[in-house]
Amino acid sequence: MPVPDLTARKLVQRPGSRKPALPRRALLAAPLLPLLGGAGPAAGLGALAAGKGVLFGTALTRMELEGSPGLGRIAETDAAVIVPGLELKWSGHRPSPEGFDFGDADFMVRFAGERGKALRGHALVWHEALPPWFASAPQDAAGMRALLERHIRTVAGRYAGRMQSWDVVNEPVEPWYRRADGLRETPFLRALGPGYIDLAFRLAHEADPAARLVLNEYGLEMPTEDNAARRAAVLALLRGMRARGVPVHALGIQAHLSAAARGFDAGLLRGFIREVAALGLEVYVTELDVTDRGLPPEIPARDAAVARCYRTFLEAALAEPALRLVVLWGLSDRYTWMNDSPHARREDGLPVRAHLYDGNFRPKPAWHAVADAFRAAPPR
Ligand code: XIL
């Protein structure tokens, strides 16, 4: 089937235009759920989740899709929303201070569009995945403001009307810096103060008024002192943003989990989600995965523990009606960021089995655990 050239025709940026660059109907199109032809689970997770009023999907990259047709097939079956894993980070489309290269991002938008999938953008502002030239860009207030304005207007504007949601600011909190507000010291904070967060959300809302705008953070789900400090800082930040009338619509809980971690507390997670909901916000699970670091090497035991962790976490989160979206940070063990992460990779050097499908795109117990969690979830 020929691939329609959306890049050249529909995605051309119109400076100053507030009109959506892609048809609005693409945003809400019902996910297509072709059967897997006996190779895997017949009813996709996206359909199960949709039955409960939850949007479900996965992060993926162009490189992964081009490397493995099998990945495209399972994504087509299970995901109702697609998140470009790298392509919408600054390093994914800002080759130079002047330039934008949307080739890879457009590929992902086209992949989702042709399959009737929704899309999430990740991420407009993040202290990581910045291109090398960023360090020598002007770091004073006026320079940084101009940089953010141009970036957000251009990127969010290009896909306006096409994104179900945007992670506007990713990982703004880090209690380690010991600031009273718990914010992370980033080049954006150093140049503009904490106001960079409000600014980014206002710019994103102007550029794409239809997108739900998300503050995305990690380390929020466990009953540890560290996570408690992060929860407090996030709540204070969101409360302030709401009081100032900043267009923020949801908190994204990344949820990079560990199957070996002890003492998950469902009541505490649910209480936190309720506190966020009380601010008038939705809650999204934006990057769910489960490392098996710290577990013995035997595969059946690892797979069972990982599956249990997915199920326990999702059952707790889905019990709260404010929880409206679940995105996995990877669907198959073939491609995972976790083997490269010093905190997530296994110490024995074995590849992690952190996702729902194995490296050959066969469903693991974790697939069934996630399906069970959606079946058990109350509708919203
Ligand atoms: C990861 C990507 O998946 C990797 O391919 C990349 O090398 C590093 O970033 N939190 C986030 C994501 O918000 O953007 C990160 O994604 C994983 C942690």
Q: What's the start-to-end Cα distance of the chain, in Å? A: 38
- Confirm if 355 and 333 have CB atoms less than 8 A apart: yes
Residue 95 inside a domain? The answer is yes
Average pLDDT, rounded, for the chain: 91
Give residue 337 CA to ligand 1 midpoint distance, Å. 6
Residue 2 inside a domain? The answer is no
Residue 21 inside a domain? The answer is no
Ligand 1 pocket member 214 (CB < 6 A): no
Ligand 1 pocket member 58 (CB < 6 A): no
Q: Phi and psi at residue 349, in whole multiples of 5°?
A: 85, -10
Under the banding of pLDDT at 50, 70 and 90, the label for residue 10 is very low
Residue 321 inside a domain? The answer is yes
Residue 290 inside a domain? The answer is yes
Residue 14 inside a domain? The answer is no
Q: What CATH number corresponds to the domain at position 321?
A: 3.20.20.80
Give residue 255 CA to ligand 1 midpoint distance, Å. 13
- Percent of the chain residues topping a pLDDT of 70: 89
pLDDT at residue 23 tops 90: no
pLDDT for 41 equals 58
Count Cβ atoms below 10 Å from residue 136 Cβ, excluding itself.
Answer: 8
pLDDT for 253 equals 98
Under the banding of pLDDT at 50, 70 and 90, the label for residue 43 is confident
Domain that holds residue 198: 39-376
Go through 295-318 and write b for each residue having 16 or more CB atoms within 10 A of its CB, e for each that does not.
beeeeeebbbbbbebbbbbbbbbb
- Confirm if 162 and 21 have CB atoms less than 8 A apart: yes
Per the annotation, the verdict on 66 as an active-site residue is no
Residue 340 inside a domain? The answer is yes
Instruction: Report residue 95 as tokens.
Output: 């080759």
Residue 11 inside a domain? The answer is no
Ligand 1 pocket member 85 (CB < 6 A): yes
The total domain count for the chain is 1
pLDDT digits (tens, 9 = 90+) for 164-200: 999 999 999 999 999 999 999 999 999 999 999 999 9
Nearest CA to ligand 1 atom 7: 337
- Percent of the chain residues topping a pLDDT of 90: 88
Out of 86, 91, 286, 333, give the residue to mutate to test ligand 1, the one with the largest number of ligand atoms within 8 Å of its CB. 86
Burial of 279 (0-12, 13-18, 19+ CB in 10 A): middle
Give residue 298 CA to ligand 1 midpoint distance, Å. 27
Element (H, E) at 253: strand 250-253
Alpha helices in the chain (DSSP H): 6-9, 25-28, 45-50, 62-67, 69-78, 90-93, 103-114, 141-158, 187-192, 195-207, 225-243, 266-277, 299-318, 365-376
89 Cα nearest atom in ligand 1: 14
